[in-house]
Structure 1
């Protein structure tokens, strides 16, 4: 079975229509962790935020759209663009972290699973098509790919639909400056078994750093002391520590993967990385090349979407992949034979990476 490769045969995404520009936050009441008001003008806070993250705009789901709906629309896009028979899917793996969260509710709804909901929306009748969810922080979609790859290489599956979907706009504290990072979106890819050619997943690597870092991202109370919100919890992060963690650990995980696979860094044509923070992603790339004593980073090696889509957690990597494969990112393309590095880091703290050859 070891000659079987897992190849992308379809991708799809759904980018919500509602554009939320940075100016949207000009009238927000931002608070410090201790509940005191942020003293600096919001215009200054927003400008500093843009300088650090490169985010100018993000997308929010419409009021009637849930994470499962975004995932369904992305899956439908992948199926329609490939003419693949949905009844031939063996697995539907859905990466998310909060389930379906209704507008203004702030409550996770994960019964039934999003995978079952999406399978129902797709009207797939085949009971042998198994659907389940995966909660793994922002690296969830990449980890779901790794799981699908195992199913395919073992001979247990021929086709797997892997979806990443999230509505982070429903779980953020409007009084927290970090809320400007987050966005909504859904994206999907279909992996299929192949025994011809060299295309497919070459190798992968995952780590979980829990003892010292598990709580860098967590759910906690609002920074505002409004008693009516005391029962709600929101997505919170220790930004400075998270930045340091990612910068120190992600390049090492990627190097470990490349070395294990025997793939030189110079063979990598594109780096598709989780769109967490523009400056952080740039720093990770620079640190990675420094580990190999390579000073000149190839121009355009790391396509980015964060400036106009924000950080949609598990949806950022598959959305970027879909846009790249459909030639919808100006000046960016992949061609047959290209080796691409896909990597992510997020809550847990989890890091994963894989090498894919087109």
Structure 2
């Protein structure tokens, strides 16, 4: 028997305000046609007053706990992946802990930008396998609208706000049974200037704005995502044909299409939400996973692969049997 991390429940949360391309075009020099042709994005949600990374994370966590049939006090680990925390410190995860009414548990943030949720899941899985935790809330939550340059039409149209969460629980099971089967992470800091924020406490003493060289990021994303998916499948002893569902980072519809073609994976097996949510960074994978779980596409026993690449560069993938 092997101690595994089992997916017990998923949840998500979106800001109340939904912004279409047409509405965005009223204030930004762009058009619906321009955005859809280049990205596949038609809509995004933008956080309003009182909506923060932590409040969205807490809402997503509550829904994941409800889906898992657990109370907040059953959780002994919270890992929140975000590049847009409420404060420089303390960790947004501790704010979520307080909002959920948990008196004491391990709680910390992970900063790996769009790959953050994959990093957080891998850390939680390691802690569960080692016995350091039994039930974990793993959350990806972002308010990227607060770090966008709204005069840069090449980047501001790409992003949205939101949160997604999963509950993982320890279970002793036979090899190959349900749970997280394998994970693989990478980072290459040589590419910092391709996707970054031009500020920070230690440099400019400001939050800064997001900057991106889109074409170069696109090229790296297709290669890296296809490569890491092959790596994680090999670790799990699986092949592309074994995948029931691929839940990728929702950055750009063209990246999703190109990655699927490179892997010879049917587009019908790729969960796509970028059209309605845009790029929500660390929140995009758990948001897409929750949607596909709740609409019945992903069922018990399915092999699901999660993958993402983000600034750093960081990238990774995780394969699980639901």
Quickly name the TM-score band, shorter chain normalised.
Answer: over 0.9
1:233 and 2:214 are equivalent in the alignment: no
Where do 1:307-346 residues align within 5 Å? 307-327=275-295, 333-346=297-310
CA contact (8 A) 1:252 1:288 kept: no
CA contact (8 A) 1:28 1:175 kept: no
- Structure 1 residue aligned with 2:193, among 215, 228, 232? 215
1:200 and 2:175 are equivalent in the alignment: no
Query: Aligned partners of 1:84 and 1:49: how far apart in 2?
Result: 41
Whichever of the two has the greater Rg, that structure is: 1
Shift of 1:260: 2.8
Please report the RMSD computed on the Cα atoms of aligned residues, expressed in angstroms: 1.7
Q: Cα 1:157–1:284, aligned 2, differ >3 Å: closer, same or farther?
A: same
- Higher-helix-fraction structure: 2
Q: Cα 1:116–1:26, aligned 2, differ >3 Å: closer, same or farther?
A: same
Q: Normalising to structure 1: TM-score of the pair?
A: 0.84
Counterpart secondary structure, 2:141: strand
Listed one character per residue, the Cα deviations across residues 75-134 of structure 1 (whole Å, up to 9, x for unaligned) are 11112233312112111000000212xxxxxxxx23221011111111111x2x111010
Shift of 1:28: 3.1
- Structure 1 residue aligned with 2:161, among 184, 193, 201? 184
Query: Aligned partners of 1:9 and 1:72: how far apart in 2?
Result: 17
Residue in 2 that maps onto 1:137: 113
Counterpart secondary structure, 1:195: strand
Residue in 1 that maps onto 2:46: 60
1:124 and 2:88 are equivalent in the alignment: no
Query: Aligned partners of 2:178 and 2:28: how far apart in 1?
Result: 51
1:13 and 2:12 are equivalent in the alignment: yes
Q: Cα 1:265–1:123, aligned 2, differ >3 Å: closer, same or farther?
A: same
Q: Normalising to structure 2: TM-score of the pair?
A: 0.93
Structure 1 gaps of 5+ residues are 31-41, 101-108, 222-230, 290-296
- Structure 2 residue aligned with 1:251, among 226, 229, 232? 226
Query: Aligned partners of 1:82 and 1:207: how far apart in 2?
Result: 30
Residue in 1 that maps onto 2:266: 298
Shift of 1:11: 1.0
Query: Aligned partners of 1:220 and 1:148: how far apart in 2?
Result: 30
Shift of 1:299: 4.9
Size of the aligned set, in residue pairs, is: 314
Query: Aligned partners of 1:335 and 1:82: how far apart in 2?
Result: 15
